[in-house]
């Protein structure tokens, strides 16, 4: 009956459906899905970006353009000396490798799970800082050419790095989470373990001008 066994194969599929009702309903995306970026802010509303340009330096596609500037004394943008006052990512070049996220010493840039965007001109493809920066609730700002539904931006920060927020050697191998606007401190992901609270003596608060905003106590000690 080998020649007719195909009929059994097709009839057994009746009633099974694997395709979804996209885009009305979407499947949950993998935990570490690499979507478009957001620039995060601290819970107090301060921007995390310090304009260090490490992301631009590490970017293999050369799609990030950053210019830092000194914080205005009377109205500081970020908790530190400098902030990124120009921040652009060209999504016609970005390969979503996440190396910028790895490089960022302050977890300012993370990748979301939002990926459904299509542009009709090249200007739209270059996301500027106002488009990348999260809003006052800490959610990604939806651009007119992006197709995502409410709730899809819930897990806006894609993933955390294995190194500490300060980027210092003492924290290597320890997972650090810093508080984020709208999301607070993240729970450890599957397969990760929460680190012990960081010891006060390794706090590098003194000695460095920018030590304040890189304070691990800001996040990891939450």
Partner 1 sequence: MSPILGADPLFSDGIDTTVVLIVIVKTIIVFAILLVAVMFYVWFMRKVIADMQNRIGPQKAGPFGAFQTLADGIKLFFKEQSSPTSADPPVFKLAPYLAIIPAFLAFAIVPIGGVVTVAGHETYLQLADPGIGVLWLLMMSGIGLYGVMLAGWASGSKYPLLGSVRASAQLLSYEAALGLAIVGVLVHTGSLSTRTIVDQQAWDGVGSAFSQWYWLPAIGAFVIFCISAIAETNHPPFDLVEAEQELVGGFHTEYTGIRFAIFFLAEFMNVITMSAIAVTLFLGGPSGPALGFLSADSWVNVWVMPVFWFTLKVLVLLYATVWVRATLPRLRYDQLMSLGWKYLIELAFLWAMISAVVVVGADQGWNRWVVVPSAIFGAGIILAVLWACIPRRGESVEEIR
Q: How many CA atoms lie within 13 A of 129 on its CB side?
A: 17
Nearest residue (CB) to partner 1, 13 versus 193: 13
Q: Computed from CA positions of residues 89, 187, 43, 79, in that sequence, does the dihedral angle turn out positive or negative?
A: negative
Nearest residue (CB) to partner 1, 12 versus 118: 12
Q: Which stretch binds partner 1 (CB under 8 A): 15-23, 40-48, 116-124, 146-154?
A: 15-23
Nearest residue (CB) to partner 1, 25 versus 123: 25
For residue 73, state whether it binds partner 1 (rule: CB under 8 A): no
For residue 16, state whether it binds partner 1 (rule: CB under 8 A): yes
Confirm if 138 and 182 have CB atoms less than 8 A apart: yes
- Taking CB under 8 A as the criterion, which residues in 17-46 touch partner 1? 17-19, 21
Q: Note the Cα 155 to chain centre separation in Å.
A: 9
Position among 13, 25, 120, 123 found at the interface with partner 1 (CB under 8 A): 13
Tell me which residue of 194, 190, 191 sits closest to 28, measured CA to CA. Answer: 190
> How far apart (Å, rounded) are the C-alpha atoms in residues 79 and 221?
18
Question: Footprint of partner 1 on this chain (CB under 8 A)?
Answer: 6-7, 9-11, 13-19, 21
């Amino acid at each position: 009956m080998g020649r007719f066994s195909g009929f059994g194969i097709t009839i057994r599929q009746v009633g099974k459906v694997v395709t979804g009702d996209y885009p009305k309903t979407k499947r949950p995306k993998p935990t570490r899905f690499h979507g478009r970026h957001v620039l995060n802010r601290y819970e107090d509303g301060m921007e995390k970006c310090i304009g260090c340009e490490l992301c631009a330096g590490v970017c293999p596609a050369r799609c990030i353009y950053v210019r830092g500037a000194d914080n205005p004394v009377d109205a500081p943008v970020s908790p530190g000396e400098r902030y990124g006052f120009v921040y652009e990512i060209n999504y016609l070049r970005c390969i979503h490798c996440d190396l910028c996220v790895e490089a960022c010493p302050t977890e300012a840039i993370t990748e979301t799970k939002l990926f459904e965007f299509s542009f009709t001109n090249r200007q739209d493809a270059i996301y500027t800082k106002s488009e990348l920066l999260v809003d006052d609730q800490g959610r990604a700002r939806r651009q007119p050419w992006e197709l995502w539904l409410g709730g899809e931006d819930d897990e806006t920060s894609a993933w955390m790095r294995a190194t500490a927020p300060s980027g210092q050697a003492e924290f290597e191998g320890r997972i650090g989470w810093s508080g984020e606007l709208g999301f607070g401190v993240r729970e450890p992901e599957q397969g990760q373990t929460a680190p012990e609270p960081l010891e006060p003596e390794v706090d590098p608060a003194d000695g460095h001008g920018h030590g304040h905003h890189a304070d691990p106590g800001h996040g990891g000690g939450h």
